[in-house]
């Protein structure tokens, strides 16, 4: 089979669209791709999370390279967040590995975690400008210790959330960074968040790969679209139409959250075995 025979264009298009959003807003690596894989393509929750983490890692390497070349990364923030996120991710992965293979109950927890985090992310996107406006009021009174501690704590929270569900490094991280560093330009906040996500998703994705939760073919197809998408989005990030993009993104996240919640709580289908007439006769 040739190379084109193994390419799934629907997966590539999904990667392209998500990569574009990641470059534009810093949001979408886990918040959109994992629900797309679960809801649209029927991928199991654990495989979707593991594959999406490595997808986000490679995608955000390309995005952070563009932001770095434009000097829109605040490396101090990246280091502070990594101080919390990397140890938290390692501990979370060790706990997950010790729990053993993912069963129905664990997959239910993953789906519910995704639904809750997506709902929070949707609210964060909607309230981002409000938070940004009001963050200026307390910026003068905020001590450097609070700024440092808050950034490390944010990193730790994201490290746990990303390792479990692949969601959290985008909109929630960007929104809290707006509050902690209100004087920084939007492009530097987005660039810093994308750069921080690289080591975190690489560590978390490698852990899930070791546990067998990564689909290599699916990952390749997604990256075919996402890499050019994130490069274009990163270059256009300073011109993104926030008034249109943010409400649309929030709506997509809210719908995805609801659909995952419904899927997690859907009653399990009972399989009925039909006995062939010949075998039924034998039973008698």
Q: How confident is the prediction along the chain (284 residues), in pLDDT tens digits per residue?
A: 444 446 788 999 999 988 888 887 766 667 778 888 988 888 988 899 889 889 988 888 888 888 777 777 899 999 999 999 999 999 999 988 887 655 566 667 777 877 887 787 777 777 766 766 666 665 555 678 888 999 999 899 888 888 887 776 666 677 778 778 877 777 787 788 888 888 988 999 999 898 888 999 999 999 999 999 988 888 876 566 667 666 766 777 787 788 778 777 776 554 444 444 444 444 44
Residue 281 placed within a domain: no
Per-residue pLDDT at 272: 44
Residue 2 placed within a domain: no
Neighbouring residues of 195: CB distance < 8 A, sequence distance ≥ 6 = 60, 64, 67, 68, 73, 75, 78
Residue 271 placed within a domain: no
Residue 46 placed within a domain: yes
Residue 246 placed within a domain: yes
Number of folded domains that form the chain: 1
Per-residue pLDDT at 274: 44
Dihedral sign, Cα of residue 82, residue 85, residue 89, residue 90: positive
Residue 182 placed within a domain: yes
- Give the rounded distance of the alpha carbon of 79 from its chain centre: 20
Residue 223 placed within a domain: yes
Domain encompassing residue 126:
7-264
Residue 44 placed within a domain: yes
**CA 183 – CA 271 distance, rounded (Å):** 58
Per-residue pLDDT at 271: 43
CB contact at 8 A, 219 and 48: no
């Amino acid at each position: 089979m040739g190379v084109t025979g193994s390419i799934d264009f629907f997966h590539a298009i999904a990667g392209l669209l998500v990569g574009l959003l990641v470059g534009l807003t810093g949001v979408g690596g886990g918040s959109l791709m994992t629900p797309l894989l679960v809801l649209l393509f029927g991928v199991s929750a654990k495989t979707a999370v593991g594959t999406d983490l490595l997808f986000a890692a490679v995608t955000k390497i390309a995005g952070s390279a563009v932001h770095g070349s434009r000097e829109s990364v605040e490396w101090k923030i990246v280091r502070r967040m990594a101080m919390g996120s990397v140890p938290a991710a390692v501990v979370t992965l060790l706990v997950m590995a010790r729990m053993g293979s993912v069963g129905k109950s664990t997959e239910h927890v993953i789906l519910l975690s995704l639904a809750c985090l997506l709902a929070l992310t949707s609210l964060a996107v909607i309230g981002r400008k409000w938070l940004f406006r009001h963050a200026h009021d307390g910026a003068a009174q905020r001590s450097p210790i609070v700024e440092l501690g808050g950034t490390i704590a944010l990193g730790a929270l994201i490290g746990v959330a990303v390792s479990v569900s692949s969601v959290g490094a985008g909109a929630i991280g960007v929104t809290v960074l707006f509050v902690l560093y209100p004087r920084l330009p939007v492009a530097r906040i987005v660039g810093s968040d994308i750069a921080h996500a690289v080591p975190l998703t690489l560590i978390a994705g490698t852990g899930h790969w070791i546990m067998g939760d990564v689909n290599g073919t699916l990952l390749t197809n997604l990256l075919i679209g996402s890499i050019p998408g994130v490069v274009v989005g990163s270059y256009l990030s300073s011109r993104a139409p926030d008034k249109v993009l943010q409400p649309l993104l929030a709506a997509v996240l809210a719908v995805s959250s609801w659909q995952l919640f419904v899927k997690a709580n859907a009653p399990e289908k009972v399989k009925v075995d039909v006995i062939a007439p010949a075998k039924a006769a034998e039973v008698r």
